[in-house]
Amino acid sequence: MNTLEQLRRGELAGATRLTLKEDLTEFPQEIFSLADTLEVLDLSGNQLTNLPDDLSRLHQLSILFASNNPFKQLPDVLGTMPKLEMIGFKSCTIETLSEHCLPKQTRWLILTDNQIQALPENIGQLSRLEKLALAGNQLTVLPDSFSNLTSLGLLRIAANQLAAFPDVLITLPKLAWLAFSGNPFCAARDEHLDFRQVQTNDFVLHEVLGQGASGLISRASWLKPMFGFDKHVAVKVYKGEVTSDGYPQDELDACLTVGGHENLVKPLAHVHEPDCAALVMELIPADYYNLGQPPSLTSCTRDTFTQGQSFSRQQALYIISQMQALVGHFEARQVSHGDLYAHNVLINQDHHILLGDFGAASKYHHLTPAQQHCIRRIERRALQYFEEDMLGLVR
């Protein structure tokens, strides 16, 4: 985190990255002093409603984050930026996108949790677009030009107002990670009242084990013996608001619909109370660790791995076989995971894997056979990328 005062004193001269969070209501002109070097600018968490018309003076800028600002529209000036590839305006109040607001070299566009009702028809001109996050908006249709987004690998359109599954997605040759739950065309959620339920006063939460977009996972212990469960369990308490992947309620529904599998963390019970939704799971043994790391700003949609990480060919094939079995299990239950990534996988020294994070999962049993086939093909493409990554780590 930087300060405006540092910028004014010249302490940040030559900086390639700048992060300012000072309740700014206007774009600080001092930022232009970094025009020849600034590549990453983060103005998230301020009170900005617009950007200057001459922003293109920042001619080296490739990444701009301005989330949690009260923008009403995506500034048109972005379309004039010569090197801007990554744009993040999450949780603003954006309602409109003009035909001129997006630079043609855009690779990564995050517009989650806004009020966008329509996308410009010329969005199809973004031939380099790989990641597009639109969950939590008011979209009713996708433009026909979507068929031209031949580089698109990850798409989040959950929690919108889409009346029908967008058949334009069927033609996209690289789409591998898709989330679409929480739209009017989707099937109603199953509350899974037949699955074992417990109350929040049945357990006590301890330290946080992990945090995702949809909630917190904590170690917990029962206050009294419960159904023969182990004393210690893990509990994921879901947030109520929309996430980058969709609604937490859809994540819980998909997770319980999938049911048990040896490569999934075992669900034990769930909490279904007016002010709390939570999932109780077996505690993962301490010897499991992350198989992969999330994509970087450079890799965009593809996972990264720690330096020196490797497997024998036999080990890699064993990991792949487990993921293949999981995908078959999902298909049998007509659920798309939507986020088949190594960074969502835990692995132990015996190379047994556990897949987690159902935030992007979507049920599709209600769709037409052709649409179901399309969704399975998209998920299988993610599986193919996972296989490539594992084989790429073979010693």
For residue 274, what pLDDT is reported?
A: 85
In this chain, the answer to whether the domains covering 197-281 and 289-392 adopt an identical fold is no
For residue 272, what pLDDT is reported?
A: 85
For residue 88, what pLDDT is reported?
A: 98
Identify how many contiguous H helices and E strands the chain contains and give both numbers.
Answer: 4, 19
- The beta strand positions in the chain, using DSSP E, are 17-19, 40-42, 63-65, 86-88, 108-110, 131-133, 154-156, 177-179, 197-198, 203-212, 215-222, 232-238, 267-273, 276-281, 289-290, 335-336, 345-347, 353-355, 362-363
Indicate the DSSP class of residue 266. P
CA-closest candidate to residue 379, choices 339, 329, 321, 325: 339
CA-closest candidate to residue 343, choices 388, 289, 298, 395: 289
Which CATH architecture describes the domain 197-281? 2-Layer Sandwich (3.30)
Q: How far is CA 329 from the centre of its chain?
A: 22
CA-closest candidate to residue 378, choices 176, 180, 181, 179: 176
pLDDT tens, position by position, for the chain (395 residues)? Answer: 999 999 999 999 999 999 999 999 999 999 999 999 999 999 999 999 999 999 999 999 999 999 999 999 999 999 999 999 999 999 999 999 999 999 999 999 999 999 999 999 999 999 999 999 999 999 999 999 999 999 999 999 999 999 999 999 999 999 999 999 999 999 999 989 889 999 999 999 999 998 877 889 999 999 988 888 999 999 999 887 888 899 999 999 999 999 999 999 999 999 988 888 899 999 999 999 999 999 998 899 999 999 999 999 999 999 999 999 999 999 999 999 999 999 999 999 999 999 988 999 999 999 999 999 999 999 999 999 999 999 999 99
Asked if 269 and 252 count as a contact pair (C-beta separation under 8 A), the reply is no
Taking CA atoms, 94 is separated from 107, 141, 343, in Å, by 20, 17, 31
- Write down the domain spans for the chain: 197-281, 289-392
Q: How far is CA 343 from the centre of its chain?
A: 12
Which CATH architecture describes the domain 289-392? Orthogonal Bundle (1.10)
Please indicate if the annotation marks 236 as binding a ligand: yes
For residue 193, what pLDDT is reported?
A: 84
